[in-house]
Structure 1
């Protein structure tokens, strides 16, 4: 009995690689690419009627991408609050 060969979705692989790059070399760009390609891959896999696989890779890329975007936004918020706190402590010489 021959089973049909399931191909790995290319977008899912790109999402996983971009998610890893988002945590290592290219935080902003890699994370955004991981999120976009992850959503595209999951949609393609759902529409493929079982001929494509890679949903786990796409999901991993999405998770890594969203976590890095969240951490970047949190870092920016903390930086702004820190600078605001420093400016609040400086006496007003007007």
Structure 2
């Protein structure tokens, strides 16, 4: 019965990485990918060990995906801005 009360560590790591991926520029892309990996690992472990933390793993997955999308948009924004700056300065 005590094992049911235990929270899966990978789900906590997944949520932490997912939240960090939202706020840390450029590195957040890598953190988001790692967060997705930990989330999938946590769900598999929760299914076999019956631990708590499925909600944390799901939240970590969602935050990681949103973090990756935001990072990609930010990178595209930087590229577009600096490419327009170079074009405007040369032309």
TM range (shorter): 0.7 to 0.9
Partner of 1:81: 80
Tell me, in whole angstroms, the C-alpha distance in 2 between the residues paired with 1:69 and 1:23: 8
4+ aligned runs moved over 6 Å, structure 1: none
Tell me, in whole angstroms, the C-alpha distance in 1 between the residues paired with 2:23 and 2:76: 21
**Structure 1 residue 80 displacement after superposition:** 1.2
User: Quick check: 1:23 aligned with 2:54?
Assistant: no
* TM-score, structure 2 normalization: 0.75
* TM-score, structure 1 normalization: 0.73
Higher strand share: 1
**Structure 1 residue 24 displacement after superposition:** 4.5
Q: Which runs of 5+ in 2 are unaligned?
A: none
Larger radius of gyration: 1
Q: For 1:1-94, what aligned pairs fall within 5 Å after superposition?
A: 4-5=1-2, 6=4, 7-24=6-23, 27-48=28-49, 51-89=50-88, 90-91=90-91
Secondary structure, in 3 states, of the residue corresponding to 1:53?
coil
Greater length-normalized contact order (CA 8 Å, ≥ 6 residues apart) = 2
Count of aligned positions: 86
Higher helix share: 2
